[in-house]
Chain A
């Protein structure tokens, strides 16, 4: 079976290519992985994103927190191995694995002078596995991108189930927000061999993301 099939052009990027593209993206723009309020992050930069503290009555300045993610790694269908239940990787899906470190600025307790003590960072690191699928955004020949949309997120080894549900939802919101910024432009899938007029795809099969079309 030809690569182009019923179309005139075909392009694909495999699992290793996607992961290298993600490494390049987050390596150049690490602020998409590191979020924090004062005092953990003091200003926006290439490496960090400043967020507001969580306002809460009686906590002066609000609750400080930070969220740090490792660069996600992908596994394109078919899966390299079994995923923790209930996750199942189906055709046209990919899994993303990352470690999320959640830190809060703990100011519990009082100092001898009656004031609250210094902010003490308290952290937990969670293994997060997500399942998603690729979607394409096409503007004009050669101009467009593939991005990832999450279908399900699981935080491993958390109990009780109600806490897991909270964390699953929290991490799904965070990962969705992060991935909304991640684009695989057509030019990394076809390495600018041609200006693709997208006609079909993206699909995931044989450990690669595939797109088809014509050339202009």
Chain B
């Protein structure tokens, strides 16, 4: 039996609905930790999505091309400077009055935290599926990514590598007594990791936002308000959305079709 209510959009309008869903999704945040070569790294990251063009394929595939992800990182690296530790040994000079000795002086360098702010963007193209569910009294039609595509983060990784080097240099300048050792320290630390390590850190962070990416294109309460209350004698008019389904139908053009029984 046909549904009571049928609402359909073509690919152009579906792209418009996607834009609204992206805005509704807002900014996502994640925190975590990883490693950058021998260095420990923790991060807080945020990301948002925009753009993209929709191509509909029956029975329920929504391909989105050129979806942009804008992300920013607050990367905190833990740099152990103990490899710079050194001591000035005691030196004694003989005099007729006895030896005069300098004290032994040791310099212990701390573990410092280096914060690296970074922001960039990437684009992705992927197939999404349709998921309809009733949760906590609300009907949802979600567009859910089917698999995480490979993200081209090469250029961003190069920039992040440079940003990390700059941040480490700046942080080391503030370390007492490091002056003569600064260039050595920077060289040793930045040599400890390379572009592959940065890519290995950045990739999972960005991919975490893409994994399970879900845009909600429809959300309405099952107890649906048709008309608001108009006091004193007109209560709100409600209907129950008994069943909701969504699919992609192909005729002379492909359409995303929402079917509802009331």
Residues in chain A within 8 A of chain B (CB atoms): 1-4, 8-14, 16-17, 20-21, 24-25, 28-29, 31, 44-46, 183, 185, 187-194, 208, 214-216
Which residues of chain A are within 8 angstroms of B220 by Cβ–Cβ distance? 191-192
Whether A2 touches B227, Cβ cut-off 8 Å, given contacts A12-B5, A25-B237, A29-B234, is no
20 contacts between A and B (CB under 8 A): A1-B251, A2-B252, A2-B255, A3-B257, A9-B13, A11-B6, A12-B7, A14-B4, A17-B4, A21-B226, A25-B237, A185-B227, A187-B226, A188-B224, A190-B5, A194-B7, A194-B16, A214-B13, A215-B17, A216-B16
Query: B255: which of A3, A24, A25, A29 is its contact (CB, 8 Å)?
Result: A3
In chain B, positions 218-250 with a C-beta closer than 8 Å to chain A are 218, 220, 224, 226-227, 233-239, 241, 249
Q: Is B10 an interface residue (CB 8 A)?
A: yes
CB of A3 within 8 A of CB of B8, answer yes
Query: A31: which of B226, B233, B249 is its contact (CB, 8 Å)?
Result: B233
Q: Is B253 an interface residue (CB 8 A)?
A: yes
Q: Is B195 an interface residue (CB 8 A)?
A: no
CB of B239 within 8 A of CB of A21, answer yes
Complex-state Cα separation, A183 to B235, whole angstroms: 14
Query: A16: which of B4, B218, B233 is its contact (CB, 8 Å)?
Result: B4
- Interface SS of A by simple majority: mixed
Which residues of chain B are within 8 angstroms of A3 by Cβ–Cβ distance? 6, 8, 249, 251, 255, 257
CB of B2 within 8 A of CB of A14, answer yes
- Interface SS of B by simple majority: strand
For residue A216, which residue of chain B has the nearest CB? B16
Give me the 10 closest cross-chain CB pairs, A-B, nearest first: A17-B4, A8-B13, A193-B7, A3-B8, A190-B7, A2-B251, A11-B7, A215-B13, A10-B8, A28-B237
In chain B, positions 113-165 with a C-beta closer than 8 Å to chain A are none
CB of A17 within 8 A of CB of B262, answer yes
Complex-state Cα separation, A128 to B5, whole angstroms: 28
CB of A8 within 8 A of CB of B224, answer no
CB of A188 within 8 A of CB of B239, answer yes
For residue B258, which residue of chain A has the nearest CB? A193
Q: Is B202 an interface residue (CB 8 A)?
A: no
**Other than the known A2-B253, A2-B255, A25-B237, what 9 A-B pairs have Cβ atoms closer than 8 Å?**
A3-B6, A3-B249, A11-B6, A13-B5, A25-B226, A185-B227, A189-B5, A192-B220, A215-B16
CB of B237 within 8 A of CB of A29, answer yes
For residue B1, which residue of chain A has the nearest CB? A16
> Measured between C-beta atoms, what is the minimum distance from A2 to chain B in Å?
5
> Measured between C-beta atoms, what is the minimum distance from B137 to chain A in Å?
15
Which residues of chain A are within 8 angstroms of B4 by Cβ–Cβ distance? 13-14, 16-17, 20
Complex-state Cα separation, A31 to B150, whole angstroms: 62
Q: Is B69 an interface residue (CB 8 A)?
A: no
Q: Is B260 an interface residue (CB 8 A)?
A: yes
For residue B233, which residue of chain A has the nearest CB? A46
Which residues of chain B are within 8 angstroms of A194 by Cβ–Cβ distance? 7, 9, 13, 16-17
CB of A12 within 8 A of CB of B13, answer no
Query: A8: which of B3, B12, B227, B234 is its contact (CB, 8 Å)?
Result: B12
> Measured between C-beta atoms, what is the minimum distance from B242 to chain A in Å?
10
> Measured between C-beta atoms, what is the minimum distance from B198 to chain A in Å?
42
Which residues of chain A are within 8 angstroms of B226 by Cβ–Cβ distance? 21, 24-25, 185, 187-188
Complex-state Cα separation, A20 to B226, whole angstroms: 12
Would you give the 0/1 interface string for B182-223, flagging 1 where the beta carbon is closer than 8 Å to chain A?
000000000000000000000000000000000000101000
Whether A2 touches B260, Cβ cut-off 8 Å, given contacts A21-B239, A191-B241, is no
> Measured between C-beta atoms, what is the minimum distance from A114 to chain B in Å?
41
Which residues of chain B are within 8 angstroms of A13 by Cβ–Cβ distance? 4-5
> Measured between C-beta atoms, what is the minimum distance from B54 to chain A in Å?
12
Complex-state Cα separation, A12 to B258, whole angstroms: 11
Complex-state Cα separation, A27 to B4, whole angstroms: 19
Whether A25 touches B5, Cβ cut-off 8 Å, given contacts A31-B233, A193-B258, is no
